[in-house]
């Protein structure tokens, strides 16, 4: 995926972003476009409040509960008990979220991979946040990492705010509203700007 147009635009519109792009190099963000919304959200639920290694272990155990060791479809969740899912490492709250996700996917509240392509960002967020345990941040991560939407700025994300603090040499992290207001100059490429802020957060 070529982000060169976005990089040029951001470099022209914001001198700090220009310096950050020069330090980090080209944006290599590549969305996982073939992953259905149900799977993306189920994985997101698994990752909530856990580090990546622990969450991935839980996801692997969860997949092994189903035939052919493949990620289940929504209707497959009815074939396993809550106790089995708990044994894979999901908390009871996350199990309830998974059940609700499956039900709302089957009922059509959560769109299919084919449907979601033609939906506007805010419409997707409105639909997905009806699922228990799925907030705006989770929906925004799906927009970025699954759908590859170009203009998403998840202002509640800790990493983005930390990256902004470091890149712009602030004494404290910006409030979400402050980041949202500043980010107006990055439109319509706020997703790529976000990617660079995440890289800034990783710098020492």
Query: Which residues neighbour 147 within 8 Å (Cβ) at sequence distance 6 or greater?
Result: 31, 33, 116, 117, 124
Query: How many helices (H) and strands (E) in the chain?
Result: 12, 0
Q: Yes or no: say if 156 and 141 are a contact pair by the CB < 8 Å rule.
A: no
Report d(CA 31, CA 148) in Å as an integer. 5
Please tell me which residue in 2, 100, 156, 157 is annotated as part of the active site.
157
Closest by CA position to 16, among listed 158, 155, 164, 160: 164
Q: For the CA atoms of the chain, what is the radius of gyration?
A: 18
Active site residue 156: no
Supply the residues annotated as catalytic. Answer: 157
């Amino acid at each position: 995926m070529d982000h060169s147009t976005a990089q040029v635009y951001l470099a022209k519109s914001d001198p700090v972003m220009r310096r950050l792009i020069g330090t980090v190099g080209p944006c290599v963000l590549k969305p996982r476009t073939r992953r259905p919304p149900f799977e993306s959200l189920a994985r997101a639920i698994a990752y909530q409040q856990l580090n990546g290694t622990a969450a991935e272990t839980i996801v692997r155990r969860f997949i092994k509960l189903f035939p052919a060791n493949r990620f289940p479809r929504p209707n497959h969740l009815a074939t396993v008990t809550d106790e089995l899912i708990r044994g894979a490492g999901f908390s009871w709250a996350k199990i309830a979220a998974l059940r609700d996700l499956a039900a709302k996917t089957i009922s059509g509240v959560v769109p299919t991979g084919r449907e979601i392509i033609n939906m506007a960002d805010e419409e997707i967020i409105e639909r997905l946040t009806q699922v228990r345990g799925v907030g705006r941040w989770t929906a925004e991560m799906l927009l970025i990492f699954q759908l590859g939407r170009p203009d998403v700025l998840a202002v509640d994300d800790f990493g983005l705010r930390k990256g902004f603090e470091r890149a712009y040499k602030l004494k404290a992290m910006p409030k979400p509203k402050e980041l949202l207001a500043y980010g107006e100059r990055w439109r319509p490429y706020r997703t790529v700007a976000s990617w660079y802020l995440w890289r800034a957060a990783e710098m020492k």
